[in-house]
């Protein structure tokens, strides 16, 4: 995709706009300890962008415990994790927008780009509100309505639809491997936050580097 083709940006939230990926990880780490699955950096990375119940499934599987819990017990574990996560989220303020992202949102708004949110999190609207940035976006895709989560393209396809744009003119921003796959499969330009995201069309080491000028420079 050429820089000039881009008309809208679809954003993942946790780890791209909000400094909340570490809070998900902290709460899941406690769940992993509780079910006696080893918490490793690889597991933490693999959970990014994955829905609540699928994340729990991966944590149980990591310890070989996938058959040790009933469906009701799994729902209880996931609910417990979410309660802990929401307790941590209470401390988030507008200062917890990740470095450079408020400036990027302002730049996009001033330049007339459309924006939407493609987060697997059911808590996304609450976090946007807490960070006081809800009004930048045309809308937020409701992950409860998805047939399949990331890496399936559905969420990023819907995020283009929310902006009334074709995927061919949308760039998606993601900090997870599953999310980059979803953007690519949707036929959008993938912008990865994190140098490990080898499948991304464009990569930045961290959010502080994200700007229209730098995206244009990387697209060449
Ligand atoms: C994603 C996070 O944005 O949302 C995952 O990267 C998280 O870590 C997922 O599990 C689901 O979030 P929630 O808030 O609905 O449990
Ligand atoms: Mg993320």
Q: Give the tens place of pLDDT for each residue, 84-110.
A: 999 999 999 999 999 999 999 999 999
Peptide bond into 60 cis (omega under 30): no
CB burial class (10 A; 0-12, 13-18, 19+) of residue 197?
A: buried
Residue 128 pLDDT > 90: yes
> Percent of the chain beyond pLDDT 90?
99
HSE, side-chain direction, 13 A CA sphere, residue 195: 2
- Ligand nearest, relative to CA of residue 78: 1
Reported as a pLDDT band with limits 50, 70 and 90, residue 206 is very high
- 220 confidence band (pLDDT: 50, 70, 90): confident
Sheet holding 8-11, edge to edge: 139-140, 114-117, 8-11, 170-174, 189-193, 202-204
Q: Is the CB of 177 under 6 A from ligand 1?
A: no
- Atom 14 of ligand 1, nearest CA residue: 121
pTM: 0.95
Cα–Cα dist 47/216, whole Å: 30
54 Cβ below 6 A of ligand 1: no
Output the pLDDT for position 36.
Answer: 97
Task: Reduce the DSSP state of residue 132 to 3 states and report it.
Answer: coil
Under 8 Å between Cβ of 212 and 107: yes
Q: What is the pLDDT of residues 140-166, one digit of tens each?
A: 999 999 999 999 999 999 999 999 999
Q: Does the beta carbon of 20 lie inside 6 Å of ligand 1?
A: no
């Amino acid at each position: 995709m050429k820089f000039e083709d881009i008309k809208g940006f679809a954003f993942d939230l946790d780890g791209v706009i909000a400094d909340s990926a570490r809070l998900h990880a902290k709460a899941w780490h406690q769940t992993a300890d509780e079910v006696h699955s080893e918490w490793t950096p690889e597991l933490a990375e693999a959970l990014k962008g994955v829905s609540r119940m699928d994340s729990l499934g991966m944590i149980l599987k990591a310890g070989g415990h996938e058959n040790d819990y009933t469906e009701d017990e799994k729902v209880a574990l996931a609910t417990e994790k979410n309660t802990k996560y929401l307790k941590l989220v209470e401390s988030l303020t507008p200062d917890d927008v990740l470095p450079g992202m408020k400036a990027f949102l302002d730049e996009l708004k001033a330049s007339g780009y459309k924006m939407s949110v493609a987060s697997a999190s059911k808590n996304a609207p609450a976090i946007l509100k807490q960070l006081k940035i809800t009004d930048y976006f045309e809308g937020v895709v409701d992950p409860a309505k998805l047939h399949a989560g990331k890496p399936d393209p559905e969420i990023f396809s819907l995020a283009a639809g929310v902006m009334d744009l074709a995927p061919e003119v949308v760039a998606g921003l993601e900090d997870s491997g599953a999310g980059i796959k979803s953007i690519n499969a949707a036929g959008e330009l993938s912008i990865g936050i994190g140098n490990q995201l080898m499948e991304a069309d464009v990569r930045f080491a961290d959010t502080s580097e994200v700007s229209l000028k730098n995206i244009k420079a990387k697209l060449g």
